Structure 1
């Protein structure tokens, strides 16, 4: 949780670095900024090796039949996508409707129209493609959109990131205001977006993710079951190496009737997680693999396939 006192020197330094990078990114033309971000991602993977062991372990768990040389290629491209994403985020205030119209296509316009006709829905995405631009795209294409966000430990960074997120009129709900915010949005027929693909610890719902149980946040399913609204998985997939993206919308997941609440929540969570996995399998190089997704289920301590020491091929 973000601190309430005066920020320390390290937090001020982190904030200064963030603002400096954002300033420099703003000086470059968009295409050049995105290319520079890809180069930074390549350096982070190939030279610095930032969390490379974690990434390789995760990729081996997800794609155990794929040779390491191909997994390394996926990992490198994932970092390059993240670099592009960071440069786009640094310029997010400029990425308005004009940018969306020129650079974002809809994969299935029929599904978008169906979602627009839905009176209240929870739109779930993952750390895939450009998940921050995803919120802006949803805002322009759906209208009444709010985003559920977590808090950074550095409150200076947290404030800056949230200002960037809300600059296009997106309402933000934090964990404390989530219940009231979601209820308000659903009553007026709006949409609440949030990321739901990270380890949720002991409070999560264990469901299958790439063939292994993964603790998954239960919030979306809990609201879905309580309010009777659908959960709709969706992602913003990068197309090529530049600023072009495709909005992909999955099948709406409705809460099952006539089953206990806990079982209903598990079914909803399992189904939207399965659809997110399908998006990731389509383009694994666009997913952020550096998070220990299976941490709470103890998978990292089991066997040679999960300890990051598989023989390189």
Structure 2
């Protein structure tokens, strides 16, 4: 007979798995409902749901308004409100596109749904034996970016935190890997990433995630933002050509342009970004330029700006004093 503590722990695990499975079934049913509707109807529905979230429910309104004030301090309030409303419409349509992608996007029809800017430059790097790093952000349909690139015939690896719900995590990873996009865990995947880059693989990363007090602080829309150092370390450590990109939606659902904002090659003779701060500032600046051109397709609901660089100095001071003692 198991001790009471083990019994209690087993019951909690069983309860969580049951709840997770029920949630998984609900999500699958919602996806089935979305897949049953035409994209034209879903576009109209996204507009209505976007209005409800912004004007009715006012979801994360304070965060969105604060972010837009930081990014566009000189814009009139009505302009920032239009961007926020358009963002909510975009997010709902993005979910609908993800649900329809496995049925509507195929290797035989990708030209009808997507195009790539600077195709010659990006393909030249992708087919070479050298590794490549592609940096994107929460702009456009970032979930379909790697999916589309793999659909073009280029396998990619993306770093992502596993979902707490094991059933949803397996389902999402199965979708992401359907065309040749493979997922690496956010923690503990260092050896895999090193091996991937040594073998000339392609690594896709989000470059606009908050990195905590110890991150690399660079300006994003004129305000310091903590950014993960690992993104630049991967590029510089493997001397990998690095592109800043986003899958931007066109006029209609499931119509994308893979926009390449800039490409930097650490092996080039004129390369001028040899340090982590310089490279981080470079790709953050290019992400910002794309967001400025398409603010309605950026994820303003997440807190990009937290604290300031002085937090890092305050965090380091006690450790220095402790080491001295």
Aligned to 2:57: 48
- The alignment status of 1:102 with 2:94, answered yes or no, reads no
- The alignment status of 1:65 with 2:86, answered yes or no, reads no
Distance 1:231 1:4, change over 3 A: farther
> Which of 199, 206, 212 is the aligned partner of 1:201?
212
Q: Choose 1 or 2 for highest CA Rg.
A: 2
In structure 1, how many angstroms separate the alpha carbons of the residues matched to 2:157 and 2:14?
A: 28
In structure 2, how many angstroms separate the alpha carbons of the residues matched to 1:85 and 1:99?
A: 20
Distance 1:157 1:201, change over 3 A: same
Q: Deviations over 1:141-192 (max 9, x none)?
A: 3513112112223333322222221122222111235323322322232211
Displacement after TM superposition at 1:295 (Å): 1.3
SS in 2 for 1:85: helix
In structure 2, how many angstroms separate the alpha carbons of the residues matched to 1:274 and 1:6?
A: 46
Q: Give the TM-score of the pair, scaled to structure 2.
A: 0.82
Matches within 5 A, 1:134-283: 134-141=145-152, 143-255=154-266, 264-283=275-294
Distance 1:6 1:233, change over 3 A: farther
Aligned to 1:27: 36
Aligned to 1:37: 46
The number of residue pairs the alignment matches comes to 293
Q: Deviations over 1:80-122 (max 9, x none)?
A: 0111100111233223324522111122323333433552111
- The structure with higher relative contact order (CA 8 Å, sep 6+) is 1
Distance 1:289 1:277, change over 3 A: same
SS in 2 for 1:252: strand
Distance 1:212 1:10, change over 3 A: farther
In structure 2, how many angstroms separate the alpha carbons of the residues matched to 1:267 and 1:87?
A: 38
Deviates more, 1:204-213 or 1:46-55: 46-55
> Which of 126, 129, 138 is the aligned partner of 1:127?
138
Displacement after TM superposition at 1:6 (Å): 5.7
Aligned to 1:308: none
> Which ranges of structure 2 fall in alignment gaps of 5 or more residues?
1-11, 311-325
Aligned to 1:81: 90
In structure 2, how many angstroms separate the alpha carbons of the residues matched to 1:165 and 1:232?
A: 21
> Which of 114, 121, 125 is the aligned partner of 1:115?
125
